[in-house]
């Protein structure tokens, strides 16, 4: 009888504890032999967009292009670019001291499962739209909690405006970033995503903060927890809300605050 009573008490205690436990879903499986690869990056060239206050843009100087004296073809160029323009990564140190530089981000954090939150319809109505905590709650009600270790991608549909500077940034005044208008993450939603354990926040606009931000709270919240940013992405409409993997590999710059990146999605077929 005592043995039965102890068993019942143990079972009751387990039932009380289980709701408090968070079961972490396994990362989505992926067969690289059959996966569909989607390029989420813009090419660098004359049309590449940079932050309005950037002192320069992308430059490619031809060093050689043609048949050599030895009879074979040879081509080489000299390139120059600020870190933050085109499809690029923001390292945590971009907005916080004593955190990871571009080269210090552990490579395993750059290849992670992805989730896509789509606010394109709302952004079409409001160019200053910010992902809210309510948006995140609605997404999680349908798809489940954002898994720890994920790269979160916010689709606004703004990539359709690239490379029209006025349409994409909301203002094309040279050297002036005071009147920009484009959607992105809101601070409350960003805090929740960092608390969920997201390792990166990406968006198909020029910044993980909305264009009208003056204090860049999303950058600061993310950077303080060593969460990187991915900006000026494209093609997020091709990525499912869950189930894809992202490889976001920036130029490995020692001491860098960011860098150009080739970002691709891998989707199970």
Where in the sequence numbering do the catalytic residues fall?
94
Helices (H), 144-256: 165-169, 187-196, 217-224
Here the tokens at position 10 are: 């143990």
| Cα–chain center distance at 194 | 13
Rg (CA), the chain: 22
> For the packed helices 217-224 and 187-196, what is the interaxial angle rounded to 10 degrees?
10
Q: Are 206 and 161 in contact (CB under 8 A)?
A: no
Residues pairing with 250 in the sheet: 261
Quick one: three-class SS letters along 124-173? Answer: HHCCCCEECHHHHHHHHHHHCCCCCCCEEEEECCHHHHCCCHHHHHCCCC
């Amino acid at each position: 009888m005592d043995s039965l009573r102890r068993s019942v008490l143990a079972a009751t205690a387990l039932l009380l504890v289980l709701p408090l436990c968070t079961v972490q879903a396994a990362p989505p499986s992926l067969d690289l032999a059959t996966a569909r690869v989607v390029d989420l990056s813009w090419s660098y060239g004359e049309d590449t967009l940079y932050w309005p206050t950037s002192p320069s843009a992308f430059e490619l100087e031809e060093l050689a292009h043609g048949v050599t004296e030895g009879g074979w073809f040879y081509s080489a160029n000299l390139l120059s670019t600020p870190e933050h323009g085109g499809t690029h990564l923001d390292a945590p140190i971009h907005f916080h001291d004593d955190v990871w530089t571009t080269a210090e981000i552990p490579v395993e954090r750059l290849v992670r499962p992805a989730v896509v939150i789509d606010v394109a319809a709302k952004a079409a109505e409001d160019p200053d739209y910010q992902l809210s905590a309510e948006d995140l709650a609605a997404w999680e009600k349908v798809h489940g909690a954002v898994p720890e270790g994920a790269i979160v991608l916010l689709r606004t549909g703004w990539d359709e405006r690239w490379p029209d500077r006025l349409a994409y940034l909301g203002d094309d005044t040279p050297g002036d970033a005071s009147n920009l208008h484009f959607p992105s993450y809101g601070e409350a939603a960003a805090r929740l995503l960092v608390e969920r354990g997201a390792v990166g926040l990406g968006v198909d606009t020029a910044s993980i903060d909305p264009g009208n931000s003056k204090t860049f709270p999303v950058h600061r919240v993310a950077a303080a927890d060593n969460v990187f940013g991915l900006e000026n992405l494209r093609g997020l409409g091709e990525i499912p809300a869950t189930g894809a993997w992202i490889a976001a590999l920036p130029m490995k710059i020692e001491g860098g605050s960011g860098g150009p990146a080739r970002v691709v999605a891998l989707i199970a077929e």
